[in-house]
Amino acid sequence: MKALQYRTIGAPPEVVTVPDPEPGPGQVLLKVTAAGVCHSDIAVMSWPAENFPYGLPLTLGHEGVGTVAALGAGVTGVKEGDAVAVYGPQGCGTCAKCAQGKENYCLRAEELGIRPPGLGAPGSMAEYLLVDNPRHLVPLDGLDPVAAVPLTDAGLTPYHAIKRSLPKLVPGSTAVVIGAGGLGHVAIQLLRAMTPARVVALDVSEDKLRLAREVGAHEAVLSDPKAAATVRELTGGVGAEAVFDFVGAQPTVTTAAAVAAVEADVTIVGIAGGSLPVGFGTLPFEVSVTAPYWGSRGELLEVLALARSGAVSVHTETFSLDEAPLAYERLHKGKINGRAVVLP
Ligand code: NAD
Ligand code: ZN
Ligand code: ZN
């Protein structure tokens, strides 16, 4: 089968031919119908050899949906032809966190060598994907594969982040979204669907600010050193009760802190290496700063249900598997509006 692989540190990913995978006992083989292109992959492909945590070659793609093509021995609960989404941050299934569906925070994944597809294990940018256990599959139940695939990360990750802050996003509150890209443009829609908060989006690109307004942001502000003052002004000096940073670089986490209200939540989702000093007098009183990872299995079901209700629609741009390197190149240059989706 064809697969998109990251093969050489620092080089672009390549479309190659690899053996068709076959499901072993307990495993499910999917014919991949769509795979999402996440900025985290670009981060992965920028890591130097000495810090690279995965083996090479690595088949990319940690957002995947497909139809069940074959079942390994003993698999029950799914059948051939079922259309399913893959829960990516898979855990051991039995530790205390996994028991709560929080496989993203599995206590034993590291020790057991369990890695998400596309982030260590072979990913969804291929004609077929092997899934280790049917519990990682969630029925699409009528959702379009292209529209649904980004929900497995670009939907699930902001959903988890926003859900934590719901008690603070009461009527009259403000939520700030920094970075209206793949995750951010979904976050804006989730905030509108799940909260009465006023949503202020920040981005460096006029195209992204336009998309932010289209998908429901009340205000869209150019992200520059003056942005924090603008947000303060928009909130009558109070600041935002919740700030979601989908960039995570030093300038954006600095802005995130500067727009936080007393008792705000500052959630750093982007992985661009920025950090905040936390200590008495560094931030407004009782600000909580957190950096979450992906979301739980239960939350994936919830975000898919929300999409079925029509409350969230991901803006997508599609590419064939042969064009997948171009999708990454365009994402790297900031040229993707919404989410790029590869159709293997
Ligand atoms: P993306 O490229 O689609 O979106 C990033 C957006 O940020 C773009 O619209 C870009 O114009 C904007 N941007 C860049 N610099 C900015 C700045 N200084 N101020 C404001 N906006 C700026 O990327 P994505 O796929 O949505 O991923 C976003 C980030 O989230 C990445 O760092 C990714 O690695 C990370 N991520 C984290 C998790 C997690 O579990 N923590 C999960 C998925 C993605
Ligand atoms: Zn991702
Ligand atoms: Zn576990």
How far, in Å, is the centroid of ligand 3 from the Cα of 142? 30
3-state secondary structure of 180: coil
Tens of pLDDT along 53-108? 999 999 999 999 999 999 999 999 999 999 999 999 999 999 999 999 999 999 99
List strand residue ranges (DSSP E) for the chain, in order.
2-6, 14-17, 28-37, 58-59, 63-71, 83-86, 128-131, 137-139, 174-178, 198-203, 219-222, 240-245, 260-268, 288-290, 316-320, 339-343
Q: Are 3 and 18 in contact (CB under 8 A)?
A: yes
Q: Where are the alpha helices (DSSP H) in 166-286?
A: 182-194, 206-214, 227-234, 250-259
- What is 156-290's CATH number? 3.40.50.720
How far, in Å, is the centroid of ligand 1 from the Cα of 193? 21
How far, in Å, is the centroid of ligand 2 from the Cα of 281? 34
Domain range list for the chain: 2-153+295-343, 156-290
How far, in Å, is the centroid of ligand 3 from the Cα of 63? 20
Q: Which token pair is 236?
A: 């009558």
Substitution site in 271, 299, 300 for ligand 1 pocket (most atoms within 8 Å of beta carbon): 271
Estimate to the nearest angstrom the gap between the alpha carbon of 91 and the chain centroid.
17
Substitution site in 37, 38, 245, 314 for ligand 1 pocket (most atoms within 8 Å of beta carbon): 38
Pocket of ligand 1, beta carbon within 6 A: 38-40, 43, 153-154, 157, 178-184, 202-205, 208, 223, 246-249, 251-252, 269-272, 293-294, 331, 334
CA-CA-CA-CA torsion sign (175, 249, 304, 108): negative
Tens of pLDDT along 136-175? 999 999 999 999 999 999 999 999 999 999 999 999 999 9
Name beta bridge partners: 273: none
Ligand 1 atom with least separation from CA of 293: 40
Q: Please, which residues have CB less than 5 A from ligand 3, an ion?
A: 91-92, 95, 98, 106, 108
Residue 42 and residue 268: Cα distance in Å, rounded?
Answer: 18
Does ipTM come in above 0.95?
yes
How far, in Å, is the centroid of ligand 1 from the Cα of 334? 10
Substitution site in 45, 176, 204 for ligand 1 pocket (most atoms within 8 Å of beta carbon): 204
Closest ligand by atom to 39 CA? 1
Whole-number pLDDT of residue 320:
98
Whole-number pLDDT of residue 191:
99
Share of the chain above pLDDT 90, in %: 100
At 181, the pLDDT band (50, 70, 90 cuts) reads very high
How far, in Å, is the centroid of ligand 3 from the Cα of 91? 5
Which residue lies with its CA nearest to atom 20 of ligand 1? 203
Q: Please, which residues have CB less than 5 A from ligand 2, an ion?
A: 38, 40, 153
Domain 2-153+295-343 has CATH 3.40.309.10: no
Tens of pLDDT along 312-336? 999 999 999 999 999 999 999 999 9
Task: Give the burial string for 263-289 (b: 16+ CB within 10 Å, else e).
Answer: ebbbbbbbbbebebeeeeeebbeebbb
At 50, the pLDDT band (50, 70, 90 cuts) reads very high
3-state secondary structure of 167: helix
